[in-house]
Amino acid sequence: MDIDEIVRLLRKQHGQPERRPCLDPLSELIATILSQNTSDLNSGRAFEWLIATFRTWELVADAHVDEIVAAIAGGGLSRVKAPRIKAILGRIREERDSFDLSFLGGMPLEEARVWLESLPGVGPKTAACVLLFSLGRPALPVDTHVYRIARRLGLLGDRVSVEVAHRVLQAMVPAESIYEFHMNMVKHGRKVCRSRRPLCSGCGLIEDCTYGKTAVREAGG
């Protein structure tokens, strides 16, 4: 299926996504780390608790990891995320002598991506989230919804990993459509093209989706 057509059909079904209020790049990075494998509600609360507890990133960086664990305990996987956050802040301060990541906005996109992915525990999705949401750069985060739908539509082969999918889909989607594509693919994955029991009969993409047509046919629709 043509990417422009996918963008058009998703817009028809879900509307034009509005740009959300953006955080500064470091806050977006930490918020994204906290969002991993948990709900938006819980990760949002954990971020608020972290900020309320320490006030500055300098204080978070200097805190004992157990203090960070306590601050984000309600967000899920705190004993995994706390040392990761501390390690990231330590690396940034060591390399930049600052916690200001706005310089990434002026770097070539691929260089900015590589720099972010050099940080401890930062993969392509997290890097892309920082670049797209905080800095407005055309970097495409491939989360579980984007990955699932892209595979069902045949945009990705069965053996393409999530990591490789970032490069493949990034090359497919026009820069000006990346934000809309990502946001509406996520919305579509949550509401329609779910992992289990997808609502294929109500999908605006079904005419060009072999997976969906097969599912409807097997269901007798």
Which sequence positions are flagged as catalytic? 125
Q: What is the CA radius of gyration of the chain?
A: 19
In angstroms, the CA 69 to CA 73 distance is: 6
Give burial (CB, 10 Å; 0-12/13-18/19+) of 86: buried
Give burial (CB, 10 Å; 0-12/13-18/19+) of 31: buried
DSSP string, 142-193: --HHHHHHHHHTTSS-TT--HHHHHHHHHHHS-GGGHHHHHHHHHHHHHHTS
- Residue pointed to by tokens 């594509």: 181
